[in-house]
């Protein structure tokens, strides 16, 4: 478990004390990404008000320490933001807010970004909205992409 000892204090804090764990009843948008085969599944719930501002964000995650920490941080980063602002929360932003991730865990931050997008997509569909720049969610993060990220 060498990579575990490489976790930053922030990652450990968000794993040990995850923010916003849980579900939102009648959420404005829910997105689930990842797959159990690879060992990571994130589900994000968003409560978005009539002005398009994220009032509340919650998550549930099956996965390693980094998967929990990136989910937790992603919910923190989108809270209080407009839908457009939430859409621009990248995996880089999640990683930076966590003071970095071990290389082999970068795919967790991609999954967190994808979870936000998936929840926003669900919100847009439910409300017949079009959100500029939002693509349909990829339910399964491409592992080759994650490896590509590792090499950089």
Q: Which residues bind other proteins (CB under 8 A)?
A: 1-4, 12, 15-16, 18, 21, 23, 32, 36-43, 59-65, 67-68, 104, 143
Q: For the residues of 82-150, what is the DSSP string, one character each?
A: BHHHHHT--HHHHHHHTT---GGGHHHHHHHHHHHHHHHHHHHHHTT---TTPPPPPSS--HHHHHHHH
Active-site pick, 4, 12, 21, 38: 38
CB of 21 to other proteins, least distance (A): 5
CB of 56 to other proteins, least distance (A): 17
Rounded to whole angstroms, the Cα distance separating 20 from 89 reads 17
Rounded to whole angstroms, the Cα distance separating 4 from 104 reads 10
Q: Are 65 and 1 within 8 A, CB to CB?
A: no
CB of 37 to other proteins, least distance (A): 4
Q: Are 24 and 4 within 8 A, CB to CB?
A: no
Is 64 designated active site?
no
Rounded to whole angstroms, the Cα distance separating 142 from 69 reads 20
Active-site pick, 68, 74, 97, 108: 108
Closer residue to other proteins, CB minimum distance, 1 or 132: 1
CB of 78 to other proteins, least distance (A): 18
Residues catalogued as catalytic:
38, 108
């Amino acid at each position: 478990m060498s990579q575990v000892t490489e976790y930053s204090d922030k990652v450990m804090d968000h794993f040990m004390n995850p923010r916003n764990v849980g579900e939102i009843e009648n959420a404005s948008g829910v997105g689930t990404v990842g797959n159990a085969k690879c060992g990571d599944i994130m589900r994000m719930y968003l409560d978005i008000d009539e002005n398009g501002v994220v009032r509340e964000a919650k998550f549930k995650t099956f996965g390693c320490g980094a998967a929990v920490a990136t989910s937790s941080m992603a919910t923190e980063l989108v809270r209080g933001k407009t839908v457009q602002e939430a859409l621009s929360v990248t995996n880089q932003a999640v990683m930076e807010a966590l003071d970095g991730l071990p290389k082999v865990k970068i795919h967790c931050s991609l999954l967190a970004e994808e979870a936000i997008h998936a929840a926003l997509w669900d919100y847009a569909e439910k409300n017949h909205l079009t959100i500029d720049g939002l693509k349909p969610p990829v339910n399964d993060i491409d592992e080759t992409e994650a490896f590509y990220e590792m090499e950089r």
